[in-house]
């Protein structure tokens, strides 16, 4: 059974901000279906909230089209600003890789249906049978791990398939540096920051051509395939013919230049949005830094990308003269050290986001806290970040 879950914390702050006359901006990081029961309810809620915000931001053009269609919002009030990445933390290290002809294919993902683990289970036996010199290194946890273990047992691939389990965010780079090829099999994706991390480490990327993935990387750095195991196997065949010609350091330089320019362009674009909304606010009279409140639930499993996006965006906004605070829930087990070290104040609310339990008393209990933060910090603009996750049971 799949449960579509959506975090209400961002919407809660946006609704409070509107009652206090504070300008609001909403960023959507996920693609939603039009037919799934859970998504239908979320779309109704989002339609109610989104049409009252001052501006909306999406992480890809596909994401923008999806948001406008399901919320019937004004497309002229919706911009496209992709996720950011600090490429200095993702650098190639060729010495960690095995020498040719040995080839490592890296998969780092939540092991869920939406991430295409069912496809990987079909791809691995076919690839390993045809190319015995290939090793798959898979990092991540999830309900589909059992399928991978059964596949490994059935085809006796203990030497060809390594299951690392849960991987800490700071260790992702070390795993990527041991690979030649990165495999992404997502069935739906608004923006896949994992493939940028992989390309920054010098890996050739193979990915399913879904959602906004085709917008993320230059096509000479990525091989796209339809989301079925036959096409993915053909993509592996194609990748093996060119992987030895890949210049990892050149990949990193190109990604660094692209991401650096993109981050600055995105920061400037978002600054212009903030300033435009601030200037509209007739209440804003004081000569002080404009205070932006970023709101998101970092507790959710796929928040590596959204947290990186908010962190890099906040750093650039501080450089541009803004004051930035971040509000999240205390369940995320993050201490906020790197945030506060960069001048970003973090508030942790005692808030349990929706998973499979509806916790309305929890939401009501945080209402005074939300208003107190907005008053105390003299917030000028609330920027809510929304993510959706499918939990498989």
For residue 113, pLDDT beyond 50: yes
User: Which segment, 36-40, 77-81, 111-115, 287-291, is predicted with the most confidence on average?
Assistant: 111-115
Same domain, yes or no, for 290 and 354? yes
> What pLDDT score was predicted for residue 246?
93
Among 189, 220, 254, where does a domain finish?
254
Q: What is the DSSP letter of 184?
A: E
For residue 155, pLDDT beyond 70: yes
Same domain, yes or no, for 149 and 26? no
Among 220, 254, 288, where does a domain finish?
254
Same domain, yes or no, for 69 and 35? yes
Check residues 341 and 139 and name the one with the higher pLDDT.
139
For residue 206, pLDDT beyond 50: yes
For residue 278, pLDDT beyond 90: no
- Would you state the structure tokens that stand for residue 32, as one six-digit string? 């939603």
For residue 161, pLDDT beyond 80: yes
- CATH label of the domain that carries residue 125: 3.40.50.2000
Nearest partner of 49 among 22, 75, 73, 20, judged by Cα = 73
Quick check: 3 and 38 in contact, CB under 8 A?
yes
- Would you state the structure tokens that stand for residue 366, as one six-digit string? 């945080």
Complete edge-to-edge strand list for the sheet that includes strand 181-184: 161-165, 134-139, 103-108, 181-184, 204-208, 222-225
Quick check: 326 and 294 in contact, CB under 8 A?
yes
Write the DSSP assignment of 267-281 as a string of letters.
HHHHHHHHHHHHHH-
Give residue-wise pLDDT tens across range 223-251: 999 999 999 999 999 999 999 999 999 99
Question: Which range (92-106, 108-122, 145-159, 244-258) has the least confidence?
Answer: 244-258
287: left (phi over 0), alpha (psi -120 to 50) or beta: beta
- Residues, the chain: 393
> What pLDDT score was predicted for residue 288?
65
Check residues 269 and 223 and name the one with the higher pLDDT.
223
What is the mean predicted confidence (pLDDT) over 192-216? 92
CA–CA separation, 30 vs 51, rounded Å?
Answer: 18
Same domain, yes or no, for 64 and 122? no
Same domain, yes or no, for 79 and 91? no
> What pLDDT score was predicted for residue 235?
96
Residue 118 class from Cβ within 10 Å (0-12 exposed, 13-18 middle, 19+ buried)?
middle
Same domain, yes or no, for 71 and 200? no
Query: 331: pLDDT confidence band, cut at 50, 70 and 90?
Result: low
Dihedral pair phi/psi, residue 6, rounded to 5°:
-140, 135
Write the DSSP assignment of 23-50 as a string of letters.
EEEEEE-----SSSHHHHHHHHHHHHHH
Same domain, yes or no, for 42 and 136? no
For residue 268, pLDDT beyond 80: no
Same domain, yes or no, for 215 and 278? no
Quick check: 175 and 106 in contact, CB under 8 A?
yes
Quick check: 8 and 16 in contact, CB under 8 A?
no
CA–CA separation, 334 vs 350, rounded Å?
Answer: 14
Among 223, 254, 285, where does a domain finish?
254
Give residue-wise pLDDT tens across range 289-298: 788 888 887 5
The domain total for the chain is 2
Residue 341 class from Cβ within 10 Å (0-12 exposed, 13-18 middle, 19+ buried)?
exposed
Question: Residue 237 in 3-state DSSP?
Answer: helix
Nearest partner of 302 among 218, 201, 208, 190, judged by Cα = 190
Q: 65-69 long-range CB contacts below 8 Å, 24 or more apart?
A: 66/31, 66/32, 66/190, 67/28, 69/34
Give residue-wise pLDDT tens across range 57-88: 888 899 899 889 888 888 888 888 877 777 88
For residue 334, pLDDT beyond 70: no
Q: What average pLDDT does the chain have?
A: 81
> What pLDDT score was predicted for residue 352?
55
> What pLDDT score was predicted for residue 261?
61
Residue ranges of E strands in the chain: 2-6, 23-28, 55-58, 78-80, 103-108, 134-139, 161-165, 181-184, 204-208, 222-225, 291-295, 323-329, 345-349, 381-386, 388-392
- Would you state the structure tokens that stand for residue 314, as one six-digit string? 């906040």
> What pLDDT score was predicted for residue 279?
58
> What's the pTM value of the predicted model, to 2 decimals?
0.81
- Domain of 240? 87-254
> What pLDDT score was predicted for residue 299?
43
Same domain, yes or no, for 99 and 218? yes
């Amino acid at each position: 059974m799949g449960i579509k879950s959506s975090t209400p914390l961002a919407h809660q702050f946006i609704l409070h901000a509107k009652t206090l006359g504070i300008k609001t901006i909403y960023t959507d990081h996920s693609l939603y279906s039009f037919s799934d029961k859970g998504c239908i309810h979320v779309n109704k809620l989002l339609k109610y909230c989104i049409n009252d915000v001052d501006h909306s931001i999406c992480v890809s053009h596909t994401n923008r089209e999806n948001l406008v269609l399901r919320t019937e919002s004004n497309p002229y009030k919706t911009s496209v600003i992709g996720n950011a990445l600090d490429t200095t933390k993702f650098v190639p290290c060729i010495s960690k890789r095995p020498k040719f002809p040995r080839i490592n294919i890296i998969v780092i993902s939540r092991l869920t249906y939406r991430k295409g683990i069912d496809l990987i289970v079909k791809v691995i036996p076919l690839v390993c049978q045809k190319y015995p010199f290939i090793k798959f290194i898979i990092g991540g946890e999830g309900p589909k791990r059992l399928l991978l273990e059964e596949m490994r047992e059935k085809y006796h691939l203990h030497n060809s398939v390594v299951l690392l389990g849960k991987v800490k965010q700071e260790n992702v780079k070390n795993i990527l540096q041991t690979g030649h090829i990165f495999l992404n099999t997502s069935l739906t994706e608004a923006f896949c920051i994992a493939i940028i991390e992989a390309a920054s480490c010098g890996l050739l990327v193979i990915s399913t051509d879904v959602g906004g993935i085709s917008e993320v990387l230059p096509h000479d750095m990525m091989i796209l395939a339809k989301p079925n195991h036959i096409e993915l196997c053909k993509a592996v065949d194609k990748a093996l013919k060119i992987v030895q010609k890949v210049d990892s350091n050149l990949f990193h330089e190109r990604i660094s230049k692209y991401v650096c320019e993109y981050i600055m362009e995105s920061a400037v674009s978002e600054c212009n949005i903030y300033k435009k909304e601030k200037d509209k606010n007739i209440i804003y009279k004081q000569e002080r830094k404009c205070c932006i409140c970023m709101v998101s639930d970092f507790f959710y499993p796929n928040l590596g990308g959204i947290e990186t996006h908010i962190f890099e965006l906040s750093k650039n906004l501080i450089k541009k003269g803004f004051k930035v605070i971040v509000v999240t829930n205390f369940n995320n087990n993050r201490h906020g050290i790197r945030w506060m070290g960069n001048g970003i104040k973090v508030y942790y609310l005692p808030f349990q986001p929706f998973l499979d339990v509806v916790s309305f008393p929890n939401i009501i209990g945080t209402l005074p806290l939300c208003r107190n933060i907005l008053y105390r910090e003299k917030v000028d603009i609330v920027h809510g970040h929304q993510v959706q996750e499918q939990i498989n049971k």
